[in-house]
Each structure stands twice: as structure tokens, then as C-alpha cells.
Structure 1
Amino acid sequence: MKKLAIITTHPIQYYAPVFKLLAKKTQLKVFYTWGEQSMVKYDKGFAKQIEWDIPLLDGYDYQFLANTSKDPGTHHFNGIINPGLVSAVQDFEPNAILIYGWAWKSHLKALRFFKGKIPIYFRGDSTLLDQQNNFKNLLRKIFLKWIYSHVDKAFYVGSTNKNYYSQFGLKEKQLIFAPHAIDNNRFEKIDQQETIKIRKKLSIGADSILILFAGKLEPKKAPDLLLKALKKLANPNLQLLFVGNGQLQKELKTTAGNFSNIHFMDFQNQSKMPAIYQACDLFCLPSKGPNETWGLAVNEAMAAGKAILVSTKVGCAVDLVKPGINGEVFKSNDLDDLMQKLTELAESKEKLTKMGIQSQQIIQNWSFEKQVEAIVNTFYNKNAK
């Protein structure tokens, strides 16, 4: 069986199931560059200590590498420094290497070292959504073309990500679609009692329309815009639930004041999230950027069978949200357009239910299985170099 090495920073709930499936098709070894300290970490976006409550290391071979950075983490280039990375990968003797992200010292070093020696595959989800035409971006384009000249094949997550790779020199034959995905089955399962319990705890009636925002309460995701829209609409039938923590938490709660239609829940771990999605009627991700490269919470909400409202700055909007079919897309940072789309979507719960059914159908092909199939087919293709 051929050997595939994967270089990535730390165990992530959206990647671990993929590695587990890949391990059944290849001789796989995952090299985690952040080090063992990444398993329990302080998340700056959520502004709290995070430890996932689903297994992230089951079913595949892995190695935590020593990270000698003085300030370990993924928040800066020098946060990932592994003197032993190259030798560890060489000892494994892989037939190809899949690298997740280049923007850390060790990952870039691996790209450069193994170029021309072993086929290099790449995975990232960057887009051009925030790009501006100026001199700084001209320099960035030159630099990124150099970066991606080290890549043999790139697995793109969706349309906007493919456009990004094309912009920086990768050819059509080098680009393979491997969809961004979540555990669709886990979010599809309905726990009716738990969803009723959530709404009851928040004093939200069965006829009310509950809008959900789930994620980091940070400026780029624009939860404040959604709160402002709901307050201005003053529709007694509309309820809004924020699930998460972050730097805007205090400001949002202050703005919400005594407004009884706005609710807050702290960060909820992965095992709790399916029931929370099931309890809502409409999921909204109003991001204004920069760098809302995809928005996997949208995948989760769609798997749970929910209508979707996102801004034009959300990376998955083009691929996953079909206006008038399973939701709507509003112009980023445009309060009036957001209010208009909310009004249209909230015409009836029946309309939202029908859109939710469409969401669940659309998301079926955006699966771990499809992602693994793309990687395995590329890996075992004798022409893939």
C-alpha cells in the first residue's frame, strides 16, 4: 500500500474524520506541527480555553512534532518551528505529501525542501473575496505565485478557492475538487426532545422564527450587524440566538439590553451543536471579512436541514446558497439589504422548512467521502506528479 504523509498544524474536528477514512485506503501518517500542547489551547477568537469533546486522534497514525517556537500557535509565521519535521517525514518514506497551509515557517520549509523530490499536494481554503487592486497586492501576487510553484496538485474546497489558485499560477490540470465538508450524518440526526428543551429554556414558542448565529463573536463575522437588523425590524415573531464567545460579546449584550427576542449561549462543544441547529429555523452568517474563507457552520446548518442567509463575503455563498431555493445572500455590511432578506425569509415557517429540505439535499455531495475519494484517486493515479 502506498504511503501518504500529511503535514498539518493540529487536530481539527473537520479533518480528523478525513484522516480516519484515508487510513483505510492508504498507509497514512499525519505530522502535527503545533505540538502536543495544541490539544488543549486558548482560542483567541472564542476568548476561552477549548478542548473538543469528540475523538480527534482515532483510526490513523500520527506524530506530534516538537515545536520550538517561543510563541507557539497558528496566529503568526514563526508560531510553527519544527527542527525535526523534514527528517521525520523522510523516515516515513512517503510516496506523496499533503500539506495543509503554507503560512508557517515549517510548512513553507517542507514545501521548499520536498519540491521535485516527492509529489506535493496542497490543501487550503483562501479566496479572492477581500482582494483589492493596489501595489501591495501586486507584490503579494508575485509572492504567492512563487509559493504555489512548489505545489504539484491542489485540492480546492469550492469555486472561490479554485479561482484563487488559478489567479496564482496553478493550471486546471493541477486543480482537483475535494469539497469542504463536515460530518453530515451527525448533524442530520434529530433529537426532538433536546431541540424542544432548548427552545423552551429560551422561552421561544413553536410559532416563532428563531434565527441562529453560531461562531466566534468577532468583528469579521459581523454579529453586531445582525443584532442591529433584528432590533430595527422589531418583528415580535423573530427571535435571535447567538451561540459562542469572543471580543464582541460584552458589546452585543449591552446593545441587546432588555430586548426579550435576543438570546445568548456560551460556546457549545461539538456534541451539543446538532440539537442547537435543529432548534433554529434560519441560520445566518453575516460576515463582512476579511478572510471568511468558507464558513463550515453553514455546512452544519444545511446538514441539519435549515434555511441559510449569508453575506457576499462568505466563501461558501456561491456554492452552497441558492437564492430563493435554500436561502438568500445579502450584500456584505449592508444593513438595509440584510433587513430586506430577513423580511423575505421570515414570511412563513413553512417557507423556511421547504428551504431547509433543499439545504439538506444540496449538502449531501459535500461530504468527507467525496473529499477522500478525490485525494485517493489523485494519489493512486500514476500520472499524478
Structure 2
Amino acid sequence: MERILIIGEFPAPYRSEVFADLARRWEARIYFECQWDEKRTAEWLTRVSVNCEILDNKKSKKMFWNDIKNLEKFNAIIIYNNCFYNSIILEVFCKIKKVPFFVNCDGCNDIEEHNLLKKILKHYLMRGAKGYFAGSQSAVKYFEYYGVEKKRIHLHHFTSLHEDEINKRNLTDIEKTILKQKINMIGNFNVVTVGRHIECKGFDIVLKAAERIGVLIDFYIIGGEASEENRRYQEQHNLKNVHFIDFLNKNSLREYYNAADLFVLMTRGDTWGLVINEAMANGLPIITTDRCVAGVELVENGVNGYIIAVDDTDALVEKIKLLRDNIALRRKIADANIEKMKKNIIDNIAKNHIQVLEDFFEDNK
């Protein structure tokens, strides 16, 4: 049986599940660069059974360096993000020892690199892989920018969804009403946005839109304790139509998606944005920015949502009102989004990787 070594950034379930599928097919050593945080990592690893090492302790680092010394014992190396220290070190040793390796990229906002030194380093790192896994068209363009031949790029659809997490149909008005009562969603028209309270998520723009629109539309900002700035803005402007919701588990978050009428993500820069996939899978129309890779890849203006400019409060208010006032359009978009997500499931990522690796191993027997 072939042996593979995989290194990723941190053990999020959508990563661990793909790696676990590969480990069921071949003998695998799996490393992660770091934890997100201890509590969340522990919760993640209870959801996905994967034998892995996290490179934040002496024992794991010693094992990692021992594997580097004996890198030839592996038939292939998979480097899931070659922007991190240990991943770069591993790739350099793959080149030195002539061990075959594969590189992954989920997506990319800023493909062009204006820093000459970084550009030279990236050109070096992108050369020589046996294959390149691209989670989006932007990742394909990113690889091509650094001189990768298109025939070596293997496109898959980046996602965190399972088949049973995609709605079979759009909810009826009665079903939505019952769900709203269950979670105490009080508005007649409800907008949901999800993410951490950090500047790049653009919650300040959502708050400004909520102020402009007034009490006729309610906004639910889900993602932990509100930042001091966001809380202060809500209080100073008496935004009774804004509701801050703590982190939610997957099932609870899905209830909010299904009860809501619209999903908004005013991000200033996401290399993907998995919440877009989640919202679409639950039949929500999408408004997001041209700096959200998932939005740019998955949303077609007027068909299943709208792409607007970063920090454009006017456009956000306009599109929210448009969708609020057009029930037929919302229902059409809901059906389109559910249909679009049916093939965007996590199992297909693993199948893509397995097929590529099987072909490689067969060709190199």
C-alpha cells in the first residue's frame, strides 16, 4: 500500500474529513500547522475521527522532522496551503529529495504579487509539483499566474457541506413561521450574516444599512460576542432591529438560515467564505461583495443573488429592499441556490483527490 503525508493549516472538519477519506484509502501521516483554539479544536476532532499531529508541541515537531529526514518512504506528499512555515519547509525538502508532491489552493482574491521577493519565492514554490488541486476558478487562475500548466490543475468545488445538509426544497411560509417562533426571530423580514466580529467581515456596513432601513427589517449578526465598536454603534443609534447572536452549532445555525429571508456577507476579503455555501444550501438569496471568492464563483447577479462593491452601503440597502419587496424573485432564487448546491458536497472533494492520486500511482508503478 502506498504511503502519503498530508499537511494542512488547522483541523477544521471540512479539512479533516477529506484527509480522513484519504487515510482510509492509503497509509497516511497527517499534520496540521496549528490549532484554531484549543476548545474549538477539541470539538472539531470529536466530529471527525482522524489520526493527526498538530505542530504546536515538541513531540509532534520531532515526529515531523523525523519524517522529513526519511521523506523517501512516502509515495506522495500533499501540501494543502504552502503559505505556512512548516509547509514551505516540507515542500523545499520534497524538491531537494525529489519526492513527488501535490499543492492545494482553495481560492484567491489577490492573484498578482507586487512584492518582487515574495513573487520570486512563490514562483519557486509553485514549480515542480506533480499536480495542483484547485478549489475554485480563482485558484486555477492563481496557479496559472505562477506558470503552472493547465493540464496539471485539478478543479474541485470547495465546500463544507454534506448531501443531507442541503435542503431538498424551499420551505413553505408556514414552515418558516413555525421555525421563527422556535428561535424567537421576531421580524417580518429577516437578514442573517455570519462570521467573527473582525473588521474584514464588514459588520459595520451591515449596521449602517440597518440604521438606514429602520425597524421594518431585522438583522441577525451571528458569530460570538459583539466587538466593542459594533455594540457601541448599536447602542448609540438605538438599533432595536439588530440582534447579536453567539456562536451556534451547525444544527442551530441551520435553523437561522431556514427561518431567515436573506443572507448578507459584506466581507472586505475572504479567500473563500463557506457561509455562502451554507446559506445557499438552505435556499437563501445572497448579497455579498466582489471580495468574496465564494460569492464571485457561485453567485450570478439577479439569478441567485447579487454581488456589490466593498463598503457600498447604498447598494446593500437597495438590494435588501429589492428582495424584500419581491417574493417571487426570492422564491426563484431559493430554488436556484438549492439546485446549485446539490453537487457541491465534501465527498466530491475526496473523490477528486483520490482519483488524481490513483492515476499518479498507477502511472508510476
Q: Output aligned runs, 1:310-321, within 5 Å.
A: 310-321=288-299
Task: Specify the alignment match of 1:50 in structure 2.
Answer: 40
Residues 181-238 of structure 1: CA deviation (Å, up to 9, x unaligned): 1123353369998984555554515xx221111111111111111111121123x432
Q: Could you tell me which amino acid in structure 1 is paired with residue 74 of structure 2?
A: P
Task: Specify the alignment match of 1:27 in structure 2.
Answer: 27
Task: Specify the alignment match of 1:6 in structure 2.
Answer: 6
Which TM-score applies when normalising by structure 2? 0.86
- How far the C-alpha of 1:249 sits from its partner, in A, is 2.1
Distance 1:201 1:58, change over 3 A: closer
CA–CA distance in structure 2, aligned partners of residues 39 and 202 of structure 1:
31
SS of equivalent to 2:193: strand
CA–CA distance in structure 2, aligned partners of residues 302 and 30 of structure 1:
31
Distance 1:22 1:261, change over 3 A: same
- How far the C-alpha of 1:270 sits from its partner, in A, is 3.1
Task: Specify the alignment match of 1:204 in structure 2.
Answer: 186
- How far the C-alpha of 1:28 sits from its partner, in A, is 3.0
Distance 1:256 1:179, change over 3 A: same
Q: How many residues align?
A: 355
Task: Specify the alignment match of 1:141 in structure 2.
Answer: 119
Aligned counterpart in structure 2 of residue 62 of structure 1, from 52, 56, 61: 52
CA contact (8 A) 1:16 1:56 kept: no
- Which is helix-richer, 1 or 2? 2
Is structure 2 residue 67 aligned with structure 1 residue 85? no
- How far the C-alpha of 1:152 sits from its partner, in A, is 2.8
Distance 1:180 1:324, change over 3 A: same
SS of equivalent to 2:159: coil
Structure 1 unaligned segments of length 5 or more: list them.
42-48, 70-80
Is structure 2 residue 362 aligned with structure 1 residue 373? no
Distance 1:84 1:378, change over 3 A: same
CA–CA distance in structure 2, aligned partners of residues 224 and 39 of structure 1:
25
Q: Could you tell me which amino acid in structure 1 is paired with residue 78 of structure 2?
A: L
Task: Specify the alignment match of 2:134 in structure 1.
Answer: 156
Distance 1:51 1:359, change over 3 A: same
Q: Could you tell me which amino acid in structure 1 is paired with residue 186 of structure 2?
A: I
- How far the C-alpha of 1:313 sits from its partner, in A, is 0.5
SS of equivalent to 1:183: coil
Distance 1:229 1:131, change over 3 A: farther
SS of equivalent to 1:180: coil
Aligned counterpart in structure 2 of residue 97 of structure 1, from 77, 80, 83: 77
The RMSD of aligned alpha carbons is 3.0
Task: Specify the alignment match of 2:255 in structure 1.
Answer: 275
Q: Output aligned runs, 1:303-382, within 5 Å.
A: 303-382=281-360
- How far the C-alpha of 1:57 sits from its partner, in A, is 6.6
Distance 1:39 1:6, change over 3 A: same
Structure 2 unaligned segments of length 5 or more: list them.
none
